[in-house]
Structure 1
Amino acid sequence: MLYQSFREYAQGAAKIGIGLGVISILARWVTGITIFASPEALVKYGIFGGIGYALMGAIALMAFGWLGKRVRKEFGDGLTIGDFFQFKLHRVGYWMMIAILLITSIEGLFTQGMAAGVLVNILFGIPISIGMLCFFLFCVVYVGFGGIVLIQRLAFVQVICMFAAAILIPLYFFIAKGVENVYQGIRLYHPYLLVLNNHEGLFFMCTGLFIGFGQVFVDQATWQRLYMLEGKKIVPTFLLSGLIWATVPLAFSSLIMVVIFTGSFNNIYSLLFDLIRKIDTIFLLVLFVLCSFGAVTSAFGAGLHSMISLIAGNVYPLLKPDANERQKMRMGYMLAIAIGVLSIVLTFFFTPTLLELLFFFGIIYAALIVPLLFIVFSKGKVDNFIPLCALIGLVAGYTSRYKLGNLDAVWVSMMVSSLLVIVHWGSKFIKKQLGNH
Structure 2
Amino acid sequence: MNIPWGNVFIILLLGAAFIISSWFISRKLSSVDDYISGRGKLGVAFGTTSLLAFWITGNTIMAGPEAAYVDGVLGALGYGIMAGVAVFAFAPLARRIHQVLPNGRTVGDLFKNRFDRKNYILFLIMAFVWVFGFLMTQGIGGGLLLEQIFSVPYELAVILTFLIVIIYSTMGGFSSVTGIAFFQVMLILVVVIVVPPIVYFTVGATPVYEGMMQVNPDSLNLLNQPGLLFLFAAPAMFIGEVFMDNTFWQRAYAVRRDKIMGIFSLAGIGWIFVPLAVASLAFVAISTQQAPDQVNQVAPYIAEIYGGQFAKWAFLVGVWAALASTIAALINALVSLIYNDVYLKIKPNTEGKNQIKVVRMMTLVIGVVALLFSLPQLTSMLQMLLFLGVVNAAFIFPITFGLFWKKLNVNVTFTASVVAIAVGYVVYFTIGDLQGIVTSGWLSFLICWIGSLLMPANFNWKTLKDAGKEEEVS
TM-score by length of 1: 0.91
Amino acid paired to 1:356: Q
Q: Closer, same or farther in 2 for the Cα pair 1:31/1:74, shift >3 Å?
A: same
**C-alpha contact (below 8 Å) 2:202/2:307 kept by paired residues:** no
Q: Closer, same or farther in 2 for the Cα pair 1:129/1:56, shift >3 Å?
A: farther
Q: Which residue in the other structure is 2:242 paired with?
A: 216
Provide the C-alpha distance between the structure 2 equivalents of 1:215 and 1:98, rounded to a whole number of angstroms. Answer: 14
- Picking from 421, 434, 453, the partner of 1:394 is 421
Deviation sequence 1:33-90 (CA, Å, 0-9, x none): 0000011101111110001101221111101101111111111122222233333223
Q: Which residue in the other structure is 1:367 paired with?
A: 394
Q: Closer, same or farther in 2 for the Cα pair 1:402/1:118, shift >3 Å?
A: same
Q: Closer, same or farther in 2 for the Cα pair 1:384/1:102, shift >3 Å?
A: farther
Q: Is 2:57 the partner of 1:21?
A: no
**C-alpha contact (below 8 Å) 1:312/1:329 kept by paired residues:** no
Q: Which residue in the other structure is 1:155 paired with?
A: 181
**C-alpha contact (below 8 Å) 1:90/1:382 kept by paired residues:** no
**C-alpha contact (below 8 Å) 2:412/2:452 kept by paired residues:** no
**C-alpha contact (below 8 Å) 2:72/2:218 kept by paired residues:** yes
Q: Closer, same or farther in 2 for the Cα pair 1:389/1:170, shift >3 Å?
A: same
Q: Which residue in the other structure is 1:193 paired with?
A: 219
Q: Closer, same or farther in 2 for the Cα pair 1:362/1:159, shift >3 Å?
A: same
Q: Which residue in the other structure is 1:50 paired with?
A: 76
Q: Which residue in the other structure is 1:306 paired with?
A: 333
CA offset at residue 118 of structure 1? 1.2
**C-alpha contact (below 8 Å) 1:375/1:382 kept by paired residues:** no
Provide the C-alpha distance between the structure 2 equivalents of 1:354 and 1:171, rounded to a whole number of angstroms. Answer: 25
Bigger mean CA deviation after superposition, 121-130 or 201-210? 121-130
Q: Closer, same or farther in 2 for the Cα pair 1:209/1:126, shift >3 Å?
A: same
- Picking from 437, 442, 449, the partner of 1:410 is 437
Q: Which residue in the other structure is 1:39 paired with?
A: 65
Q: Which residue in the other structure is 2:467 paired with?
A: none
Provide the C-alpha distance between the structure 2 equivalents of 1:331 and 1:431, rounded to a whole number of angstroms. Answer: 39
CA offset at residue 377 of structure 1? 1.2
Q: Which residue in the other structure is 1:289 paired with?
A: 316
The alignment-based identity, stated in percent, is: 28
**C-alpha contact (below 8 Å) 2:62/2:381 kept by paired residues:** yes
Q: Closer, same or farther in 2 for the Cα pair 1:189/1:272, shift >3 Å?
A: same
**C-alpha contact (below 8 Å) 2:53/2:326 kept by paired residues:** yes
Q: Which residue in the other structure is 2:382 paired with?
A: 355
CA offset at residue 428 of structure 1? 2.1
Q: Which residue in the other structure is 2:453 paired with?
A: 426
CA offset at residue 148 of structure 1? 2.1
Provide the C-alpha distance between the structure 2 equivalents of 1:312 and 1:378, rounded to a whole number of angstroms. Answer: 29
Deviation sequence 1:74-110 (CA, Å, 0-9, x none): 1112222223333322333222222221111211211
Structure 1 unaligned residues grouped into runs of 5+? 433-437
**C-alpha contact (below 8 Å) 2:170/2:360 kept by paired residues:** yes
CA offset at residue 184 of structure 1? 1.8
Provide the C-alpha distance between the structure 1 equivalents of 2:100 and 2:378, rounded to a whole number of angstroms. Answer: 42
**C-alpha contact (below 8 Å) 2:408/2:456 kept by paired residues:** no
CA offset at residue 327 of structure 1? 4.4
Deviation sequence 1:168-220 (CA, Å, 0-9, x none): 11222222322222222222223221122201101101101100110011111
Provide the C-alpha distance between the structure 1 equivalents of 2:58 and 2:353, rounded to a whole number of angstroms. Answer: 32
Provide the C-alpha distance between the structure 2 equivalents of 1:50 and 1:231, rounded to a whole number of angstroms. Answer: 33
Q: Is 2:267 the partner of 1:245?
A: no
Provide the C-alpha distance between the structure 2 equivalents of 1:130 and 1:221, rounded to a whole number of angstroms. Answer: 27
Q: Which residue in the other structure is 1:435 paired with?
A: none
Q: Is 2:295 the partner of 1:268?
A: yes
**C-alpha contact (below 8 Å) 1:161/1:290 kept by paired residues:** yes
Provide the C-alpha distance between the structure 2 equivalents of 1:346 and 1:9, rounded to a whole number of angstroms. Answer: 25
Q: Closer, same or farther in 2 for the Cα pair 1:273/1:431, shift >3 Å?
A: closer
**C-alpha contact (below 8 Å) 2:408/2:448 kept by paired residues:** no
Provide the C-alpha distance between the structure 2 equivalents of 1:257 and 1:431, rounded to a whole number of angstroms. Answer: 53
Amino acid paired to 1:77: N
Q: Which residue in the other structure is 1:146 paired with?
A: 172
Provide the C-alpha distance between the structure 1 equivalents of 2:176 and 2:457, rounded to a whole number of angstroms. Answer: 52
**C-alpha contact (below 8 Å) 1:120/1:126 kept by paired residues:** yes
Q: Closer, same or farther in 2 for the Cα pair 1:304/1:334, shift >3 Å?
A: same
SS at 2:395 equivalent: helix
Q: How does 1:107-122 map to 2 (within 5 A)?
A: 107-122=133-148
SS at 1:68 equivalent: helix
Q: Closer, same or farther in 2 for the Cα pair 1:344/1:9, shift >3 Å?
A: closer
CA offset at residue 341 of structure 1? 4.5
Q: Closer, same or farther in 2 for the Cα pair 1:255/1:202, shift >3 Å?
A: same
Work out the number of aligned pairs and report it. Answer: 432
**C-alpha contact (below 8 Å) 1:312/1:328 kept by paired residues:** no
Amino acid paired to 2:304: R
CA offset at residue 261 of structure 1? 2.6
Q: How does 1:43-192 map to 2 (within 5 A)?
A: 43-192=69-218
SS at 1:261 equivalent: helix
Superposition RMSD in Å: 2.5
Deviation sequence 1:351-409 (CA, Å, 0-9, x none): 21111111100000011111111211133996254144213311221233221121111
Provide the C-alpha distance between the structure 2 equivalents of 1:192 and 1:299, rounded to a whole number of angstroms. Answer: 33
Provide the C-alpha distance between the structure 2 equivalents of 1:340 and 1:135, rounded to a whole number of angstroms. Answer: 11
